[in-house]
Amino acid sequence: MPWSLIGLKSLKATLSRMIHSARFPHALLLTGPRRGGKFTVAKDLAKALNCLEPEPDASPCGVCLSCRKIEEGNHPDFIVKRPTGLSQSLAIDDIRDLIRSLGYRPFEGQRRVVIIRKADSFREEGAGSLLKTLEEPSLSTVLILTALSESRVLPTLVSRCVRLRVPPLARAEILAALKERKNLTGPRAELLAGLSGGALGAALEWPPEEAWGRWASLDQLFGQVIEGQALGRKAVLDFTATECQELEKLKKLDQEEAKKAEEGQETSGHRQGRYTRLLEFMRLWWRDVLVLAVTRDKNRLAGPAASLAQRKWATEVSPKNLTARLKELDYLEDNLRRLSQSELVLTAYWLSLVNSLGPK
Ligand SMILES: [Zn+2]
């Protein structure tokens, strides 16, 4: 079985080289977009370092006892830590326990592999105890830190790690993967590829029909605005109601997670304050309109083929105005996050969009 990742040839070559070399680094920092495969790479490395029958390119076989145990998460030398609780940082006690356990030899594997997710959430005190471990590495332990970007991780940690970036995939690679794994092609696949920002995990997490329905209803409303039609009151209300329902759900989930964290229970890993799904659609929609307006090149679109509404906006509105529409979304996101009256915020958005075209 080759490396689990799709594409990323040069990253895979680097992994193979690292494992073949006599000195595998004792600490790695993997960075890359959310849901972009960092954990997959880390797990692959854990398997490869312990595989009983590795492939010639050093990738793990995927079927030996050790590989299977790691896949199922019950290998005693495969440890995954992620921040929990309200502060979303690793508890200091947790780190101390971890470090203590690293003093022992691996139980059954050749190398103990410790994955620390969201290393960007480390505070100084937690990092301090880990630094010592990074400075006095044990030959039998490999620490793999993952984070969105290097700049978000404490420099003292970064400087002690070998850094590897898991880059976003090209659009064509995401499309190929959607076809292979979900048998999904056409506009729906193109939409998911556009929403994913090059992170395969993100492309796979959207239910295609739901995503497409949302895209179509947004597109319809934007179309009505540029056509100078009075925005269908019902359409806006329906749209707003659906979005507000989701916002409410997410906010509630936030509260539940916060409560669980307070009580010391395990949380689901739901990202707090993530009211951005609607915004992801809107950003993609306006981004493609702007690209179309500036380049007139449909091959540069990130989402599905341009709709009538997108083409109309692109030809009838100045790029300057379109850039403002894209920027406006930051403001909208901020308001949705801060204010409790989501309905009001969304309705105001549509009004201001109509006004942005000036008098007809
Ligand atoms: Zn194996």
Residue 245, pLDDT score: 80
Ion ligand 1, residues whose Cβ is below 5 A away: 51, 60-61, 64, 67
Distance from C-alpha of 88 to C-alpha of 346, rounded to nearest angstrom: 30
Residue 203, pLDDT score: 93
d(CA 70, ligand 1 centre) in Å: 9
d(CA 14, ligand 1 centre) in Å: 19
d(CA 75, ligand 1 centre) in Å: 12
Residue 262, pLDDT score: 67
For the chain, what are the domain ranges?
9-165, 207-355
Return all residues near 41 (Cβ < 8 A) that are at least 6 apart.
3, 5, 11, 15, 30, 164, 166
Contact 359, 236 (CB under 8 A): no
Return all residues near 251 (Cβ < 8 A) that are at least 6 apart.
275
CATH level 3 topology of 9-165: Rossmann fold (3.40.50)
Contact 83, 89 (CB under 8 A): yes
Residue 274, pLDDT score: 54
d(CA 104, ligand 1 centre) in Å: 23
Distance from C-alpha of 318 to C-alpha of 306, rounded to nearest angstrom: 17
Mean pLDDT by 10 residues, the chain (360 residues): 80 92 89 92 95 94 96 93 65 73 81 89 73 76 92 89 93 94 96 94 90 92 85 71 77 75 60 67 96 94 96 96 95 83 84 80
Distance from C-alpha of 208 to C-alpha of 233, rounded to nearest angstrom: 27
Distance from C-alpha of 78 to C-alpha of 68, rounded to nearest angstrom: 12
Contact 75, 66 (CB under 8 A): yes
d(CA 9, ligand 1 centre) in Å: 21
Amino acid at 105: R
d(CA 167, ligand 1 centre) in Å: 26
d(CA 108, ligand 1 centre) in Å: 14
Q: Which residues of 309-336 are buried (b: 16+ CB within 10 A; e: fewer)?
A: bbbbbbeebeeeebeebeebbeebbebb
C-beta atoms surrounding 207 within 10 Å: 9
Residue 88, pLDDT score: 56
Please state the pTM of the whole predicted model: 0.81
